[in-house]
Amino acid sequence: MNKILNLLLPILRLILNHEKLQKQSNNWNDSPIASKKTETLRSEIPIPETVEKPLFFHPVRIVSERVTSPYGYRTLNIDGKAVRQFHIGTDFGGSGPVYAVEDCIVTKALSADKKYPVRFAKRDQTWVDLIKSKEIPAGRAWTPYVILKGIHTGNEYKYKHVDPSVEVGAEIKAGSEIGRSGNFGYSMGAHLHFEVWVNSKTVDPLKYLKSLELVK
């Protein structure tokens, strides 16, 4: 019994620690104003009766070379301090249209803060948090986003720093535009932060897209 426990404990610790990390990494939207403004789908998602061979698309049109920050541990320089964090998505640099990976239902959406679109500014080689420096009121410059639930896989796709062009509850065809990425919210330059959740856990989006043969 003890032997089994000794074997299992490190694995358990790893799993628990990973879940904690995933929760901590959701620091991009801690604003009560943002949660009030967020639209959320309340009803169940219908399962289609006939599933044809589903199509899958990359979330941006110009692909792999535009990855500006991969999935995994990274260190950012914020307010003159090195901040180490687990990055639970893949960043694709640039502003422009983003697309549904598969046929999806929009389950959550939040529009950009038009008055205070972005929270960070680069000054003297560091990123200044404009809420901490009191240049932006607390709770503003939230991160706009769209969350889609895949009809064929049941997986969740989170598109952050994206101003949505779709409404909650809408059924979206694979490959259609769902909004535009930009330098919005908890952001240090225009990009799409893209997450893939399988069975309520994040996976490396690039590996996921590779498994669908959407990235070489």
Which CB atom, from 89 or from 182, has the smaller least distance to Zn ion? 89
Q: Is 15 helix (H, G, I), strand (E, B) or coil?
A: helix
3-state secondary structure of 159: strand
Binding region for Zn ion (CB under 5 A) out of 41-49, 145-153, 186-194, 204-212: 186-194
Element (H, E) at 22: helix 2-24
Q: How far is the CB of 92 from Zn ion (least distance, A)?
A: 9
Stretch that binds Zn ion, among 83-91, 132-140, 150-158, 172-180 (CB under 5 A): 83-91
Instruction: State the binding string over 188-207 for Zn ion (x if CB under 5 A, else -).
Output: -----x--------------
- Rounded Cα gap, residues 133 and 67, in angstroms: 30
Q: How near is the Cβ of 151 to Zn ion at its closest, in Å?
A: 25
Q: How many residues bind Zn ion (CB under 5 A)?
A: 3
Nearest residue to Zn ion on Cβ basis: 193
- DSSP states along 25-84: T-TT---HHHHHH-EE--SPPPPPSS--------SSSS-GGGEEE-SEEEEEEETTEEEE
CA dihedral 129, 132, 133, 135 (to 10 degrees): 80
Tokens of 175: 């490959």
Residue range at the interface with Zn ion (CB under 5 A); choices 33-41, 133-141, 172-180, 187-195: 187-195
Nearer of residues 56 and 71 to Zn ion, judged by Cβ: 71
| Cβ-based nearer residue to Zn ion, 91 or 163 | 91
| Closer by beta carbon to Zn ion, 93 or else 169 | 93
Handedness of CA 211, 170, 146, 19 (dihedral sign): negative
163 binds Zn ion per the rule CB under 5 A: no
Binding residue (CB under 5 A) for Zn ion from 34, 56, 71, 91: 91
Interface with Zn ion (CB under 5 A): 89, 91, 193
